[in-house]
Amino acid sequence: MKMSKSIIYTALLCSFSLALSAPAAAAKVEQVFKFYCAQCHGLEGKGDGPNVSKTFPVDPRNFTKAKEMEKLSDADMKNVIMDGGPSASKSPMMPPWSKTISEADADALVKYLRKLCNCKGKGS
Ligand code: HEC
């Protein structure tokens, strides 16, 4: 009796975490974005986060401007996200994130930014 109870419990736990995992992936990238990117790029990605002041030498990219975002390939974006602005001859105001976020998070962020611009990258 004891045995079967714990099996049922385990089975319940498994189905519970399976049910959670799909929406969690979508929610997670939003959280990563809000946590690390929104202070500059804005919650909606318009480049108007609370961190941006008049002393910013360049405006953070507005991710909703398809015209600008189309010029970047997915690989370009991932590079800038991981290695920072200067890696693409852009401003060091765009920090490097490779020590902070995972490759998988960076890939998810690129997809997320494509949704914000509703555009495709150069060469894709
Ligand atoms: C401290 C402010 C700041 C934060 C935080 C920040 N960025 Fe940026 N980001 C910038 C600025 C400023 C630019 C514009 C750089 C330029 O055009 O020279 C930029 C540009 C970009 C670009 C476009 C680069 C290009 O080649 O045009 C991408 C993509 C980007 N950021 C993604 C992100 C992501 C994803 C995050 C979160 C993981 C993030 N940024 C966090 C300031 C920030």
User: According to the model, what pLDDT value does residue 12 have?
Assistant: 61
Ligand 1 close to Cβ of residue 74 (< 6 A): no
| Sign of the four-CA dihedral 32, 35, 41, 45 | positive
pLDDT score at 64? 98
Query: How many angstroms does the Cα of residue 55 sit away from the middle of ligand 1?
Result: 16
* CA 19/CA 106 separation, integer angstroms: 24
- Per-residue pLDDT at 119: 97
Does residue 18 register a pLDDT over 90? no
C-alpha–C-alpha distance, residues 68 and 55, integer Å: 23
Statement: residue 19 has pLDDT above 60: no
> Residue with the nearest Cα to atom 23 of ligand 1?
61
pLDDT tens digit sequence for 74-107? 999 999 999 999 999 999 999 999 999 999 999 9
How much is the mean pLDDT over the chain?
A: 88
58 contacts 93 by C-beta, under 8 angstroms? yes
Query: 47, 63 in Cβ contact below 8 A?
Result: yes
CATH topology of domain 23-117: Cytochrome Bc1 Complex; Chain D, domain 2 (1.10.760)
**Which residue matches tokens 């519970």?**
16
Q: Mean pLDDT check: name the lowest of 8-12, 39-43, 74-78, 92-96.
A: 8-12
